[in-house]
């Protein structure tokens, strides 16, 4: 991942140093598991731990240099580790293991740590949406369907729905964490032919993983589920960002991204305050969906294992983890800092729509007054079109129509914004219900 989109905490988990350090821990734990069985002498296992090399830049370069000979990264890693520990004790490193025992168990350990970062960040986004929901639940704004004025809603209703969806993302991330919190040290085709299951149990328990049946590799539907959770986060954030982009359009002007001192919206046009963050988030959500597609392709492997998944995962798992954390952090800042323009929103809702957002209320009032629904619909539809084309208040058109028999009080009720929004607190009530 390019540094621009790589949060340091997540990038550190997927660095070469972190990867080799986790591999080394798996190897050392396995040696100690063998020692508990009496296969590896206790002094030798202790020597492996005590003389294990520091995993730093020099170690990474040594493995890379050795890999140029072996053309096999795990074999190169084992050679360098054994050389650092020395003989004869170093010969116990990788005893009874196949490469995927180490790589898959270490990768799952890393994904668990990555998922913990993502869960925390997703909780932060959900909390930010909830704060804004409670703040803005009574602030009206035009609801739109198909991009057209529909009926009144509130900003708080929008944020409430985003909060609920973000909470579902938290649950999806937690479930994905559980799914990848597994390990295997069961040998070349998973039959424990040259390793005792208790070694696997020891390693997994030490790393907080659950041993699972496997072939040479852990089943990749688990990793695909992790990528699905990441892509789902992207979809939620894209939904938020898309709404911000529409509300920020010049002719709408009901919201805008935070704009800090010294910021420039355009290199050519000083008046611009472009929704660049929202656009960036929408673009990165597309990338996350692409990673999911690649992850699903990795599920079907030949027989007990091939390595067609390996090259894919070296790219998509680190990148998806970093991008997901990046967009979660950026989206949280967007939600917290989003500037709302309630006066403009109210003007768009009333004068801007000429009152057409109350057409259904008028329709129902006419039906309640005795007209058939179709007859009432045709009257309201006709008058609504006249109001729009003539740029006249919808209520004035209705009052001039002899077929509209509603009293002034009935029209007052039909055009009453407070009546229309009287149940809007059900959105924030839903937030409280899911808190319990």
Residues 6+ apart with CB under 8 A from 210: 181, 182, 183, 204
| Confidence at residue 435, expressed as pLDDT on a 0 to 100 scale | 62
Which class is domain 350-435? mainly alpha
**Measured between alpha carbons, how far is 155 from 134 in angstroms, rounded to an integer?**
10
DSSP 3-state of 300: coil
Distance CA 384, CA 389 (A): 9
231 contact partners, CB below 8 Å, separation of at least 6: 285, 288, 289, 291, 292, 320
Catalytic residues: 146, 266
pLDDT in tens, 334-343: 999 999 999 9
Q: What pLDDT is stored for residue 266 in this prediction?
A: 80
pTM of the predicted structure, to 2 decimals: 0.95
The DSSP-derived string for 114-179 is: HHHHHHHHHHHHHHHHHHHHHHHTT-EEEEEETTEEEEEEEHHHHHHHHHHHHHHHHHHHHHHHHH
**What is the pLDDT averaged over residues 6-10?**
97
pLDDT digits (tens, 9 = 90+) for 355-374: 999 999 999 999 999 999 99
The CATH classification number of 99-192+215-349 equals 1.20.200.10
Residue 265 banded pLDDT, cuts 50, 70, 90: confident
Question: pLDDT tens digits, residue range 138-183?
Answer: 999 999 999 999 999 999 999 999 999 999 999 999 999 999 999 9
Distance CA 196, CA 219 (A): 21
The alpha carbon of residue 208 and the mean position of all alpha carbons in its chain are separated, in whole angstroms, by: 24
User: What proportion of the chain, given as a percentage, has pLDDT over 90?
Assistant: 94
**Three-class DSSP category at 272:** coil
Question: Which CATH entry fits the domain spanning 1-95: 3.30.230.10, 1.10.540.10, 1.10.275.10, 1.10.150.20?
Answer: 1.10.275.10
Residue 368: Cβ-neighbour burial (10 angstroms; 0-12, 13-18, 19+): exposed
Q: What mean pLDDT is predicted for residues 198-222?
A: 97
pLDDT of residue 282: 98
Closest by CA position to 362, among listed 422, 405, 391: 405
> What residues contact residue 269 under an 8 Å CB cut-off, 6+ apart?
none
Q: What is the pLDDT of residue 249?
A: 95
- Of the candidates 116, 251, 106, 248, the one whose C-alpha atom is nearest the C-alpha of residue 184 is 106
Q: Whole-number mean pLDDT of the chain?
A: 96
Q: Does residue 436 have a pLDDT over 60?
A: no
- Count of all residues that appear for the chain in the document: 436
- 51: left (phi > 0), else alpha (psi -120 to 50), else beta? alpha
Domain boundaries, the chain: 1-95, 99-192+215-349, 350-435
pLDDT at 270: 84
User: Identical fold at 1-95 and 350-435?
Assistant: no
pLDDT band, residue 267 (cuts 50/70/90):
confident
Pairing of strands 182-183, 210-211: parallel
């Amino acid at each position: 991942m390019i540094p621009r989109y790589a949060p340091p905490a997540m990038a550190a988990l997927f660095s070469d140093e972190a990867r080799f350090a986790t591999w080394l821990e798996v190897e050392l734990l396995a040696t100690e598991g063998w020692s508990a069985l009496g296969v590896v002498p206790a002094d030798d296992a202790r020597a492996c731990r005590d003389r294990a090399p520091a995993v730093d830049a020099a170690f990474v370069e040594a493995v890379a240099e050795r890999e140029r000979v072996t053309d096999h990264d795990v074999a190169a890693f084992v050679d360098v580790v054994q050389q650092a520990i020395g003989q004869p004790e170093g010969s116990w490193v990788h005893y009874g293991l196949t490469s995927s025992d180490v790589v898959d168990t270490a990768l799952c350990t890393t994904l668990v740590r990555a998922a913990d970062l993502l869960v925390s960040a997703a909780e932060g986004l959900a909390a930010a949406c909830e704060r804004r929901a409670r703040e803005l639940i009574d602030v009206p704004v035009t609801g739109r369907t198909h991009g057209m004025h529909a009926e009144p809603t509130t900003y708080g209703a929008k944020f409430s729905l985003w909060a609920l969806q973000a909470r579902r993302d938290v649950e999806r991330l937690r479930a994905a964490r559980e799914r990848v919190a597994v390990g295997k040290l069961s040998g070349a085709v998973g039959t424990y032919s040259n390793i005792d299951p208790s070694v696997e149990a020891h390693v997994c328990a030490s790393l907080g993983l659950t041993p699972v049946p496997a072939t040479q590799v852990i089943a990749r539907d688990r990793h695909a589920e992790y990528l699905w959770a990441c892509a789902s986060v992207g979809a939620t954030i894209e939904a938020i960002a898309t709404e911000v982009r529409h509300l920020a359009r010049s002719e709408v002007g009901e919201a805008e991204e935070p704009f800090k001192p010294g910021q420039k919206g355009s290199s050519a046009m000083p008046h611009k305050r472009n929704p660049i963050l929202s656009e960036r988030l929408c673009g990165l959500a597309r990338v996350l969906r692409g990673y999911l597609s690649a992850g699903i392709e990795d599920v079907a492997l030949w027989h007990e294992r091939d390595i067609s998944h390996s090259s894919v995962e070296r790219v998509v798992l680190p990148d998806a983890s970093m991008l997901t954390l990046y967009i979660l952090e950026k989206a949280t800042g967007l939600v917290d800092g989003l500037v709302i323009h309630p006066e403009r929103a109210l003007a768009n809702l009333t004068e801007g729509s000429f009152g057409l957002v109350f057409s259904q209320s008028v329709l129902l009032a006419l039906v309640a007054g005795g007209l058939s629904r179709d007859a009432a619909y045709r009257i309201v539809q006709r008058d609504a079109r006249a109001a729009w084309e003539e740029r006249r208040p919808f209520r004035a058109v209705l009052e001039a129509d002899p077929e509209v028999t509603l009293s002034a009080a009935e029209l007052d009720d039909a055009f009453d914004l407070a009546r229309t929004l009287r149940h809007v607190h059900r959105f924030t009530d839903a937030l409280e219900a899911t808190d319990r």
